[in-house]
Amino acid sequence: TFTMGISRDSRHKRRATGGKKANLKKKRLYESGRPPAMTKIGATRVHTVRVRGGNEKFRAMRLDTGNFSWGTEVTTRKTRILDVVYNASNNELVRTKALVKGAIIQVDPTPFKAWYEQHYGVKVGVKKAQKKAAAEELAEKKVSNHVQRNHAERNKTRTLDPALDEAFASGRLLCCVSSRPGQSGRCDGYVLEGKELEFYTRQLKKRKQ
């Protein structure tokens, strides 16, 4: 069966002044395009695509984990992707839960919580009613004097955004995808914080109204 390819040439387009151009050559392979991957959330499935120059692209069809970087704490953890909640370019990409660059997604904060507790000796994402019990639990934990000194030193400069603490407590951390899953076969990104987190939280509230 004959199927039309995706062509990226501009010879079929009119001039800026509105005049028609004469199309003096046929389509070329180097002008061809491919359909979008529309990566979804699910058990990892990645196809390899042979591209120009014999190189390979990794077309992720489904992904359920990714590496996410926490900028202010300078740490990266592999974590589960839970949901796609916002996309500035198109609401359809949110409805279909497409993992694309720039998408705002929710991830599981457990690996970050575990790292924070180990690094600072402080529990994050604890609900107000349970804060006292969590502090007592940590106090009972036996750690060496060396680790205690490390924790004390690190806690001198420790700051945690209250909005992030809330996100940890809710069990859903907002992240932005910065890799291109349809090209690299990975869904990596960074944890939203500060002004950026405020902005996207506002946008999400607007959507719910």
Strand partners, 124: none
- The pLDDT-based confidence of 125 (bands split at 50, 70, 90) is confident
pLDDT score recorded for residue 5? 86
User: Over the stretch 11-40, which tens digit does the pLDDT of each residue have?
Assistant: 999 999 999 999 999 999 999 999 999 999
* Pairing of the two strands 65-70 and 75-86: antiparallel
CA distances to 7, 80, 94, 182 from 53, in Å:
19, 34, 34, 19
Start-to-end Cα distance in the chain:
48
Residue environment code for 67-77, b if the CB has 16+ CB neighbours within 10 A, otherwise e: ebebeebeebb
Residue type present at position 122: V
Mean per-residue pLDDT of the chain: 90
pLDDT for residue 179 is more than 90: yes
Most confidently modeled range among 72-81, 133-142, 158-167:
72-81
Residue type present at position 81: I
Number of Cβ atoms within 10 Å of the Cβ of 165: 13
pLDDT score recorded for residue 173? 93
DSSP code of residue 21:
P
pLDDT score recorded for residue 153? 87
